[in-house]
A and B are shown apart, each in its own frame.
Chain A
Amino acid sequence: MSATDHSDVTRRDFLYVATGTAAVVGTAAAAWPFIDQMRPDASTLAQSSIEVEVGSLQAGSSLVVKWRGKPVFVRNRTPEEIKAAQDTPMADLKDPIARNGNLPSDAPATDVDRSAGKDKENWIVMVGVCTHLGCVPLGQQGDFGGWFCPCHGSHYDTAGRIRKGPAPMNLEVPVYSFISDTKIRIG
């Protein structure tokens, strides 16, 4: 008698738990499309790369191009700017990592690793989005003659490295390459 009672209870328990689990998993599965639809869609994700003509940029001038909806700064730096960045001791840097998409993720934030590389040190290409909360910094301003973000006062140096203010990281260097002497491809 008691044995049958027991098996009845466990069977009912099993059904309760199974139904409950199916309901929870089912609800979660049904909810997912409603959340996931908000994420970047296929057309946004089809991140085409762009090609930029930079031959006309004299030393000391920059241009801003739009890539994946964000501004990208391309600057042909003056020798003084390069020297100022090269002379900065690594100990003065708030963020010691290069944040260069073309280099290993632990590459140090030396001037050459921030720039287009050996013999192309004059070129610097960076995503123009402040690493604090996303404003676009202004060029050739601020305490270090590099970039200055007006939103909450972040100062970047001539290599786009964060030196002062609330931003935690150096400006991001996107994946890019020179496809000819005067043309770069970003992305």
Chain B
Amino acid sequence: MSGGHSTYTPKTGIERWIDARMPLPRLVYDSFVAFPVPRNLNYAYTFGGILAIMLVVQIITGVVLVMHYASDTSLAFVSVEKIMRDVNWGWLLRYMHANGASFFFIAVYLHIFRGLYYGSYKAPRELLWILGCIIYLLMMATGFMGYVLPWGQMSGWGATVITGFFTAIPLVGTWLQQLLLGGFSVDNPTLTHFFSLHYLLPFVIAGVVVLHVWALHVVGQTNPTGIEIKSKTDTLPFTPYATVKDAFGMIVFLAVFAYFIFYIPNYLGHPDNYTQFNSLKTPAHIVPEWYFLPFYAILRAITFNIGPIDSKLGGVLAMFGAIAVLFFVPWLDTSKVRSAVYRPWYKLFFWIFGINAVFLGWLGSKPAEGWYIPAMQASTLYYFAFFLVIMPLLGLFETPKQLPNSITEAVLAKNKGAHAHPAGATAAPETKG
């Protein structure tokens, strides 16, 4: 794309013939072979590639699951059981798909945290960041609707509660809820709606991913120093350097993924979902999938009315607000320095934010009673304060550390450090046994 001038030179006649008609090989070469990446990228930068792989995994396993799945309330649960017991390799395909969704979210959360740490959202990458937020929203919608398909108790009651959010919206809320449900409660039309959309949305995600990568290739990648690329020595070609690093990251990630599939396939699921949906009986303790738990805690933290907003609408607004605030991060952060590496205070608040987010997730899995409620409220407060108070103010008050002049300088300084201590990195190869 526009990462400088194209360096592609078609070698054979057929390549020249294609290049003159539809230069797709040129596009691929410029985007994934010659594309210059900062030479100091670390493993936090491999999650983009991992996310791409996970989307492909979900689409391929999904398409084959559809060959055996029936989207009818009388058949859905049984058809999933049939996939598990009768269909050749069905257990593997379903476990890949169910755990794949979880691993997709693990990767996206790490990817988002990488962005927050290194200030990847700052100009000129605002649109890139917003496209990422849109992908994340679409993933949540897809994950939620997919979870309804096996038609277990958690499927049905999760769908009831989540579509219930809409009833909190004044005037149009109930109309919207009935539009989603196709009726007055979760029933066959709900299942067919969700099945259709669950098939559609991953392809919409794929489309937005193309835009995301396009935007990335216009502005280039950030790097741990947060300094823009200034000269050719700051970069390396994407292939082989980033390709191999990404591939190594993927292998490690997929190895953990495989461990879950083969050894603890139901660890991230909920046993109640192996009981068929009963619209007259709610399970004693309903929880959403783990990747929604922090937001579930925020929803339930609002137990009080705020002026004219009752607690129900307040909870729903807080929950959607927690996601919406991400879209505004490029403008909430007022610091001139991009990377947390050079921002001592931001670094501290960032890590507290990370721990707080995990704690919110844990609280989300607990019932709304006792000390959990004030804890949810305190955690929710920090979540919003981080974005709305800390980010804007820190930029004004924090004194950042001295920035290196260029990526090259930062890399050389680091290597010099290693030379000064021969027992360190450079000596490691000889000491390996």
Contact = CB atoms under 8 A, between A and B. Distances in A.
A41 B184 CA distance: 11
B280 to A, nearest CB: 5
A50 to B, nearest CB: 14
A20 interface: no
A12 interface: no
Interface residues of A, number: 30
A20 to B, nearest CB: 27
B211 to A, nearest CB: 23
A101 to B, nearest CB: 14
A134 B187 contact: no
Interface in B142-179: 157, 160-161, 163-165, 167, 178-179
A153 B282 contact: no
- A44, A71, A165: residue with the most chain B Cβ atoms closer than 10 Å: A44
Instruction: Name which of A41, A66, A71 has the most chain B CB atoms within 10 A of its CB.
Output: A71
Contacts of A138: 282
Given A39-B179, A40-B184, A136 B369 contact: no
Interface in A34-56: 35, 38-41, 44
Contacts of B285: 150
A68 B185 CA distance: 8
Interface residues of B, number: 36
A166 B179 contact: no
B189 interface: yes
A68 B368 contact: no
Given A40-B189, A153-B368, A135 B312 contact: no
Contacts of B185: 68-70, 129, 134
A71 B280 contact: yes
Given A41-B182, A64-B280, A132 B164 contact: yes
B85 to A, nearest CB: 30
B61 to A, nearest CB: 27
A44 B282 contact: no
A167 interface: yes
A168 B164 CA distance: 13
Nearest to B304: A166
A168 B302 CA distance: 13
Contact of B300 (A40, A64, A136, A166): A166
Central interface residue in B179, B184, B302, by most chain A CB within 10 Å: B184
A133 B160 contact: yes
Interface in B171-219: 178-185, 187, 189, 193
Nearest to B164: A133
B254 to A, nearest CB: 36
Given A69-B279, A71-B279, A166-B303, A38 B183 contact: no
B179 A152 contact: no
Given A38-B193, A40-B178, A133 B183 contact: no
A22 interface: no
Shortest Cβ-Cβ A-B pairs, 7 listed = A133-B164, A69-B185, A134-B164, A135-B282, A133-B161, A134-B160, A136-B282
6 contacts: A44-B189, A68-B185, A69-B185, A133-B161, A136-B280, A136-B282
